Structure 1
Amino acid sequence: MTPAIPPTLEKPHFIGIGGAGMSGIAKILSRRGARVAGSDSRDSETAAALRALGVEVHLGHAAVHLAPDASCVVVSSAIRPDNPELTEAARRGIPTVHRAAALAALMEGRRAIAVAGTHGKTTTTSMLAVALTELGLAPSYAIGGDLDAPGSNAEHGTGDLFVAEADESDRSFHRYRPEVATVLNVELDHHANYASLEEVYESFERFADRIVPGGTLVVNADQAGARELTARLAGRAGLTLVTYGESADATVRVKRLVSEGLESEVTVAREGRELAFRVAVPGRHYAHNAVAALAAGVAAGVPESDLAKALGSYTGARRRLQRMGEAAGVRVVDSYAHHPTEMTADIEALREGAAGGRVLVVFQPHLFSRTRELATEMGQALALADACLVLDIYPAREDPIPGVTSALIVDAARAAGAEVRAEHDKGAVAEAVAGIAKPGDLVVTMGAGDVTDLGPEILARLAG
C-alpha cells in the first residue's frame, strides 16, 4: 500500500528541484501520487528524468512558476531568502517546508536507516540501497547522488525499509527518527554553520538522541571524532551501540582488506564468525563504507551472509570515483571529494588502483568559507598526487570572501612538495591534461562543483 501523502505535500513546488537531495524527494512524492512541480537554474539530465515522471520543471526562477494552488514550497538551506518564488510564496501565504522535513514525512511509517557523517554518506547509503534491492526487499531510498543513471538517487519501494542519507551540514538531520543510524566520521566542516568541533559533536549527539527507543547506532571505531561520539553516548538508555573498523575493540572488526585494481576484498569478524565479501570500490576508505553498510543492514535484521553477498552487486555511485572512460591508455575518473579527508582518501585509493601509473588531479575548490579554513590541508592532500591543476573556487551558495582564492591551495600544495599549477580557464584544462598525461596514467576530476563536466572533454581531447 502506498502511504498517504500529508496534505501540505500533495501539490509541492521545489525550488532547486534539480539538486541531488531535492530531486530524490520530488521523485518519491511523484511516485506516491503527488502533483509535483519545481524550478532550477539550468536544465539537466536529472530535470529530464523528473519530467519523464510527469513532474513540471521550470528553468530559471520567477514568481510566475509557482502554481496558484501549490500546497507548499520545498526549499533547502542553499536557497536565498530573496528567491522570487520564495518571496511569492510568502506573499500568498503558502507554507515553506525544508527539504529535510519533507523527507522525514516520507519516512513516516517505514523502518528508517539514516546514514550520517562528515564524509562517505552517499557511498554508504548507495551500497545499502543497492544491496537491499538486490535481496528483493524493495526498500525506499533517498541518496545525495545518482547510482548509475540520472534520477536513480531515490526510489519509492514497497518494502518496510527506508534508507536515507542524513545531512549534518545545516543540522537538518535532527528531523529524522531512524530505527538504525550510522555515523561514519565526525569532523569540523561547513564552517558557515559550525563555529567549533564541539558544536559538531553536540549536533551528532542530538541526531543520536532521535533514534527510536530500542534502536541502534553504528559508529566508526577507527576515526577519532567518531570514537569521541561513542564515548559520549555510552550508557544511553534504549540505545544499542555497534562499532566497526580495524580497531581491536570494534563490534564488527575488519581483519583483512586487499585492494586489487579498482576493487577490494574485505574479511570481517562479528560475534566470533568471519565473513568475506568483495566490493567494486578501491581503497581502505571505501571498503570501510561497505562494512558500515553491512553493520547497519544487520542491525535492521537482514541476514549478514545474504547482505555481504549482495554488497558485491554495488558498482558505484556517480561522482564517487566514477569511471568516466579511457582514451590513449589514460583512465579518467570523477570524484566528489572536496574536504581534505575525502581528497586524501580518494587519491590514496586511486594510487592503489593506478597499477604503477601516475595519478593526475584536476581539483576545483568548493566554497570560499571552506577554502579559507582548510586551504593548507587541501594543498597537503593534493601533494599525494603526481601532478595537479587547481581551478578557481566554485562559489555554490556563497559570495566571495576578500583574499580567499584558489591561490591559497596552490601555495600550500607547493609548500608540501606538489607539482601543481593554477588554471583559471576551464576551457584550457583538457588541452593541459593531454599535454602531460601518458599511457598508464589515471586522471581524476575532483570537487563538488561543475568540474565533473571536464571528464568527457578530457577523454575527447585524449582520443584525438
Structure 2
Amino acid sequence: MNLDTIHRVYFVGIGGIGMSALARYFHEKGMLVAGYDKTPSLITEALMDLGIDIHFEDNLNLVDKVFLNAKNTLIVYTPAIPKNHAELTYFQTHEFEVLKRSEVLGVITQNTFCFAVAGTHGKTTTTSILAHLLAECHVPVTAFLGGISENYNSNLILKGTEVSVVEADEFDRSFLRLSPNVACITSMDADHLDIYGDASELVKSFNDFAKKVKPNGVLFVKNGLPINGITYGIEDDSDYSVQNIKIKKGTYVFDVKTPETILKNIEFSLPGRHNLSNALIALAMAVYYGCPHQQLANALGSFKGVKRRFTYQIKTNNLVYIDDYAHHPEEINAVYQAVREMYPGQKVLAIFQPHLFSRTRDFADDFANSLAQFDAVILLDIYPARELPIEGVTSEWLLGKIENDNKQLVAKNDLVQAVKNRPEKVIITIGAGDIGEEVKHLKKELELAI
C-alpha cells in the first residue's frame, strides 16, 4: 500500500492510545482525519482540540460525507472494535482500504530504520525512554508511544522520518506485521490467553516475532528468556548490565557495563527495578545505534516518565499518591517492589480495578497474591473493555481470594468517599481501565486532607 496516495484517514476506535498516536501522525502529515470512539476521554478531547472531528455513536450518518468516498480514504480500526460494528462493516463491504492499526504501523515503518519493543510488560516505558534518548541525540525519529510521554505531553514524537520507534504489541499477534532492524523482548509472562489459549502459544508467537527481525538486524532479550539474542539484566553477567546501584534522594545512580566499556554514574529517576531494566534496554539499543555515551547519559537523566506509569499525583512528607497502569499480577508485583523500595516502613493502600473478565479469571490466584502484599486493598468492579461478563468472575469473587484483613469492594462512584480520612500515608491507584478518569477527583479530595 502506498500512503502517498491517501488524502483522508478515518479511525474506528480513535480514542485508543495507539490509534490516537496514528491519528496525530496523519494529522501532522496534513491529511484530513476523523473518527469514532465509544466514549469521550482526555485523549479524544486532545484530538478534537487539534481540529479532528470525532463522534461517539456508531452511526454512519454522523460520518462526514467526504470520508464516504472510497477513493483516497484509508480506514484504520482497532481489534477491540466488535465485529458487528455498523460503521466498520460498511467500510469493509464497500471497497475501502481497511487496515488494522498494526498493519498501518507496518506500512509506515517498512522504509525506515525501525526499533521495535516487544514484551508482555514494559513496552510503553521502554519505547518512551528510547524515543527520548534518540530525540535528544538529534536522531531524525518518529515514535509511536502507548502512553503519554511527560517530556513531550504526547504519544507521538515527530523529529524526522528516517528512524522509527514502535511498540511491538503481542495482542492479536499484531507485532508480526513489523520487520524491525533492532528489536528487544522485555518479558514473556502469560497474558492475553483469550487470544492465545495457553502460555506455550504466546511463547511461540514471541519466537515468530524474533524471526521478523531483518537478516542484518539485532535482537536484545532480557537475560533468562528462552530466546537467543544480546542479553541485558540487572546486576548479572549479561552483555549489558546495570551494576553498583545506589539511591540518592529518590534517584537511581548506577553504572552500565556494555560489551566494550563501562558507563559510570548514570542517573535515572523512575522508581522500581522494572523501570531500571526498561532504562537499561533503551540505553543498550541507543548505544548499539551509535549515539554518543555522554549525550545518552544526560538524556536518561532528563527523562520525566510516562503518564500513569508510577506517576506521582501528590508527593509530600505527609501524603504520597501514585497512579499506575499495572493490570497484570507481575506488573502489580513490580509496583509493590518500587513503592516498598522508595517508602520503607510506610503503610500502603492499593486501589485496583481489574481489567477484563478473562484476565481476572485466568490469573485470579496470582492477582490475589500480588494484592495481598499491600497493607490495605480496595477493589473496584471489573472493567470489561471488549468483553461480555463471565459467570462467576467478579471483583467480589476475587476479593474473597485476597488474604488480607484490610480489604473492601467499593463502587467506582463511591471511591472518593471511601478514601477520605484513610490512615495510610501512601496511596496508589492501579489498573488499565477507566480508573484513570478518577485520578483527578481522587487527587482533589486527597489534597484537601494535606
- The TM tier, using the shorter chain, reads over 0.9
Aligned residues: 441
2:422 matched to 1:436? yes
TM-score by length of 1: 0.90
2:426 matched to 1:426? no
Return the alpha-carbon distance in structure 1 between the equivalents of residues 147 and 236 of structure 2: 33
Deviates more, 1:173-182 or 1:85-94: 85-94
Find 2:397's aligned residue among 408, 431, 437: 408
Residue of structure 1 equivalent to 2:430: 446
Deviates more, 1:117-126 or 1:148-157: 148-157
Residue of structure 2 equivalent to 1:36: 33
User: Contact conserved, 1:49 with 1:151, CA < 8 A, in 2?
Assistant: no
Deviates more, 1:36-45 or 1:182-191: 36-45
How far the C-alpha of 1:293 sits from its partner, in A, is: 0.4
Instruction: Report the residue type matching 2:407 in the other structure.
Output: V
- Is the alpha carbon distance of 1:73 and 1:353 closer, same or farther for their aligned partners in structure 2, counting shifts above 3 Å? same
Instruction: Report the residue type matching 1:245 in the other structure.
Output: G
The C-alpha deviation readout for 1:273-326, integer Å capped at 9, x for no partner, is 221311120121111110010111122222333223211111110110111125
How far the C-alpha of 1:104 sits from its partner, in A, is: 1.3
Residue of structure 1 equivalent to 2:68: 68
- Is the alpha carbon distance of 1:193 and 1:262 closer, same or farther for their aligned partners in structure 2, counting shifts above 3 Å? farther
Return the alpha-carbon distance in structure 2 between the equivalents of residues 10 and 149 of structure 1: 31
Return the alpha-carbon distance in structure 1 between the equivalents of residues 429 and 307 of structure 2: 12
Residue of structure 2 equivalent to 1:360: 349
Residue of structure 2 equivalent to 1:229: 227
How far the C-alpha of 1:269 sits from its partner, in A, is: 1.1
- Is the alpha carbon distance of 1:326 and 1:301 closer, same or farther for their aligned partners in structure 2, counting shifts above 3 Å? closer
How far the C-alpha of 1:255 sits from its partner, in A, is: 1.6
Secondary structure, counterpart of 1:170 in structure 2: helix
- Is the alpha carbon distance of 1:150 and 1:47 closer, same or farther for their aligned partners in structure 2, counting shifts above 3 Å? farther
Return the alpha-carbon distance in structure 1 between the equivalents of residues 397 and 181 of structure 2: 43
User: Contact conserved, 1:260 with 1:353, CA < 8 A, in 2?
Assistant: no
TM-score by length of 2: 0.93
Residue of structure 2 equivalent to 1:104: 106
Residue of structure 2 equivalent to 1:316: 305
How far the C-alpha of 1:354 sits from its partner, in A, is: 2.1
The C-alpha deviation readout for 1:409-454, integer Å capped at 9, x for no partner, is 212212xx4532111x11221222223235xx11111000011222
Secondary structure, counterpart of 2:417 in structure 1: helix
- Is the alpha carbon distance of 1:352 and 1:75 closer, same or farther for their aligned partners in structure 2, counting shifts above 3 Å? same
Secondary structure, counterpart of 1:243 in structure 2: strand
The C-alpha deviation readout for 1:242-291, integer Å capped at 9, x for no partner, is 11003643100222223446432232211252213111201211111100
User: Contact conserved, 1:347 with 1:359, CA < 8 A, in 2?
Assistant: no
Residue of structure 2 equivalent to 1:346: 335
Instruction: Report the residue type matching 1:281 in the other structure.
Output: L
Residue of structure 1 equivalent to 2:447: 463
Instruction: Report the residue type matching 1:192 in the other structure.
Output: D
Residue of structure 2 equivalent to 1:114: 116
Return the alpha-carbon distance in structure 1 between the equivalents of residues 20 and 372 of structure 2: 36
How far the C-alpha of 1:86 sits from its partner, in A, is: 0.6
User: Contact conserved, 1:264 with 1:283, CA < 8 A, in 2?
Assistant: no
User: Contact conserved, 1:61 with 1:83, CA < 8 A, in 2?
Assistant: yes
The C-alpha deviation readout for 1:201-240, integer Å capped at 9, x for no partner, is 211111111111111101101xx4x2x123xxxxxxxxxx
User: Contact conserved, 1:183 with 1:219, CA < 8 A, in 2?
Assistant: yes
User: Contact conserved, 2:151 with 2:305, CA < 8 A, in 1?
Assistant: no
Find 2:144's aligned residue among 142, 145, 148: 142
Return the alpha-carbon distance in structure 2 between the equivalents of residues 426 and 190 of structure 1: 25
- Is the alpha carbon distance of 1:250 and 1:186 closer, same or farther for their aligned partners in structure 2, counting shifts above 3 Å? same
How far the C-alpha of 1:390 sits from its partner, in A, is: 0.7
Residue of structure 2 equivalent to 1:215: 217
How far the C-alpha of 1:68 sits from its partner, in A, is: 1.9
2:231 matched to 1:243? yes
Residue of structure 2 equivalent to 1:295: 284
User: Contact conserved, 2:272 with 2:339, CA < 8 A, in 1?
Assistant: yes
How far the C-alpha of 1:184 sits from its partner, in A, is: 0.2
Return the alpha-carbon distance in structure 2 between the equivalents of residues 44 and 261 of structure 1: 35
How far the C-alpha of 1:159 sits from its partner, in A, is: 5.0
Secondary structure, counterpart of 1:192 in structure 2: helix
The C-alpha deviation readout for 1:162-194, integer Å capped at 9, x for no partner, is 111110011010011111001001111001111
Residue of structure 1 equivalent to 2:204: 202
Residue of structure 2 equivalent to 1:51: 48
Residue of structure 2 equivalent to 1:172: 174
User: Contact conserved, 1:111 with 1:160, CA < 8 A, in 2?
Assistant: yes
Return the alpha-carbon distance in structure 1 between the equivalents of residues 153 and 172 of structure 2: 24
User: Contact conserved, 2:133 with 2:286, CA < 8 A, in 1?
Assistant: no
